[in-house]
Amino acid sequence: MRPWSSRSPFHPAVLTHCVAVTLVLWVWGSPSLVAAERPAPDLGAGKDAYRQHCARCHGATGRGDGVDAKRFYPRPRDLALGVYKFRSTASGTPPTDENLFQTISQGLPGSNMPDWQHLDEGVRWQIVAYLRSLSPVFEKVQPAPVQLADDPGPARADHAKGKALYETLGCAACHGSAGRANGPSAGGLVDDWGMPIRPANLTQGWSYRGGHDPRSVMLRVLTGIDGAGMPSYAEALSPEEAWHLAYYVTSLQEPVHWNLVARAVRVDDSLPSAVDDPRWAEADRTDLQLDNVVNATGEWASPPTVNAASLEAVYNDEAIAFRFTWDDPTQDLHAPHDGFALLLKPVGSEGDVVTLQAWPSAGAPPLDVCYWSAERGTAWEAVATDFDSVTTPSVSTPPFLQSASGYQDGRWRMVVQRALHPNHPRGAAVVTTEAFTSIAVAVWDGGNPGSRAVSSWIDIALREP
């Protein structure tokens, strides 16, 4: 379906907002919709709407082979198979019409499937009817809604019981003990069609494709995610236990702070140089969504393993210090090793780099790259026209930057300092209180070589006390 035409840091929030109450009042698993009267199916109208809005990704015949399909992860669904991941029905049975309407209306956060609630409600129902016509499974197998228990609510949810179930059912084997998608089985997963896939990072609720609230998580536990290696646990735990597990999983989610402007806090003394310096708590946090660059043929090299990073910034009269945090399922200290880059616009730079997805490219201007290497355990800065000349420098490459790092349970934290007005390298970016400074980041996962992840540009502002 329609790809995102832009990649602002806010788009995960845009993807996850609820369907307007004036249109639909519905949640996964509810028996009915409270909405305008559903129109009679018109396959011609549904096919026309599908071809206009959906075929670019899902293909003209619904086989998941649209012109944009190869550059997306996960790949668009092959609708002819009738296998749908997000349902309120038992594993192996098709979704209800309401499930399909929900997905069309709200989209799938963390993927390139956007919401279509701007379409007339009747048009969305005609698309539902047309999707059903693409696969015989809807005629051969009836939906089987899963058995649901009453929601105990946050006050009565037993997190200790949920955590015990998480461990007993082996959830950590894929999702990791802290939910950071770094379990021992995470790296070898494939879907039912042999495509490599990655488990969800449970700390990133904004990326849950089927919804991040307890009810949505509970349904994933009971229904499984057909085709994606996530089994149904309906036979392994009771509907009541599924709620406790769901509430525990949602407790792993960390709040996000999507900002177009990151604000650095001023201090009068030395800057924090350790990743666990308590002064970092005084700084504002800004989160950045990352997207993997595609290869020369416009495809994903492999599923992304790093899809977000956060930063805090502190400065004094001479320098600015950043602390970056990102989840990486493996600590890779030898080639190919983990790496991280802070990018700024050099002084006097002519031209613009609209997106790091396309940098370097012919005629693109140079960038100021502050690169940290897990192999060397240090960072350095260069003004360059490509990444390779910075990431593989000579031993004597100046100037080295003060940095520190630490890795624990699937999470890197790294601190780097640079001067506000560097003398070297020539043309290095200047950071001042008088203007915003554009910054972006790039991340290399040595365990997933060839899949560099990059952010959009945001601004850093020096906040006066």
Query: 118, 31 in Cβ contact below 8 A?
Result: no
Task: Specify the pLDDT at position 193.
Answer: 87
Greatest alpha-carbon pair distance for the chain in Å reads 73
Separation of alpha carbons 421 and 424, rounded Å: 9
Q: What band does 396 get if pLDDT is binned at 50, 70 and 90?
A: low
* Report field, pTM of the whole predicted structure over 0.85: yes
Separation of alpha carbons 343 and 352, rounded Å: 13
Q: What band does 363 get if pLDDT is binned at 50, 70 and 90?
A: confident
Q: Among candidates 263, 1, 305, which has minimal Cα distance to 127?
A: 1
Q: What band does 20 get if pLDDT is binned at 50, 70 and 90?
A: very low
Q: Which residues touch 434 (CB under 8 Å, ≥6 apart)?
A: none
Q: Among candidates 422, 322, 420, 326, which has minimal Cα distance to 374?
A: 326
Task: Specify the pLDDT at position 28.
Answer: 44
Output the average pLDDT for the chain. 90
Q: Quick check: 257 pLDDT over 90? A: yes
Task: Specify the pLDDT at position 21.
Answer: 27
Distances 230 to 88, 174, 220, 249 between C-alpha atoms, Å = 15, 10, 8, 15
Mean pLDDT, rounded, for 279-296: 93
Q: Quick check: 394 pLDDT over 80? A: no
Q: Quick check: 23 pLDDT over 60? A: no
Q: Among candidates 281, 317, 328, 324, which has minimal Cα distance to 415?
A: 324
Mean pLDDT, rounded, for 387-393: 88
Q: Quick check: 428 pLDDT over 60? A: yes
Q: What band does 29 get if pLDDT is binned at 50, 70 and 90?
A: very low
pLDDT digits (tens, 9 = 90+) for 88-130: 999 999 999 999 999 999 999 989 999 999 999 999 999 999 9
Task: Specify the pLDDT at position 451.
Answer: 86
Separation of alpha carbons 140 and 362, rounded Å: 54
What DSSP character marks residue 79?
G
Give 274-327 as a DSSP string.
STT-GGGGGSPPEEEEEEEPP-TTSS-SS--S--EEEEEEEE-SSEEEEEEEEE
Task: Specify the pLDDT at position 13.
Answer: 36
Task: Specify the pLDDT at position 7.
Answer: 34
Q: Which two tokens stand for residue 7?
A: 């990649």
Find where tokens 């698309």 sit.
Answer: 127
Q: Kindly list the structural domains of the chain, giving each domain's residue range(s) and its CATH number in brackets, ordered by start.
A: 11-140 (1.10.760.10), 159-251 (1.10.760.10), 261-463 (2.60.40.1190)
pLDDT digits (tens, 9 = 90+) for 233-255: 999 999 999 999 999 999 999 99
pLDDT digits (tens, 9 = 90+) for 202-242: 999 999 999 999 999 999 999 999 999 899 999 999 999 99
Task: Specify the pLDDT at position 237.
Answer: 97
pLDDT digits (tens, 9 = 90+) for 329-344: 999 999 999 999 999 9
Task: Specify the pLDDT at position 8.
Answer: 38
Residues 56, 58, 61, 63: is their CA dihedral positive or negative? positive
Query: 328, 449 in Cβ contact below 8 A?
Result: no
pLDDT digits (tens, 9 = 90+) for 185-199: 999 899 988 889 999
Q: Which two tokens stand for residue 429?
A: 């970016």
Q: Quick check: 19 pLDDT over 60? A: no
% of the chain exceeding 90 in pLDDT: 79
Task: Specify the pLDDT at position 395.
Answer: 58
* Bigger pLDDT: 358 vs 143: 143
Q: What band does 465 get if pLDDT is binned at 50, 70 and 90?
A: low
Q: Identify the H or E element spanning 463.
A: strand 458-463
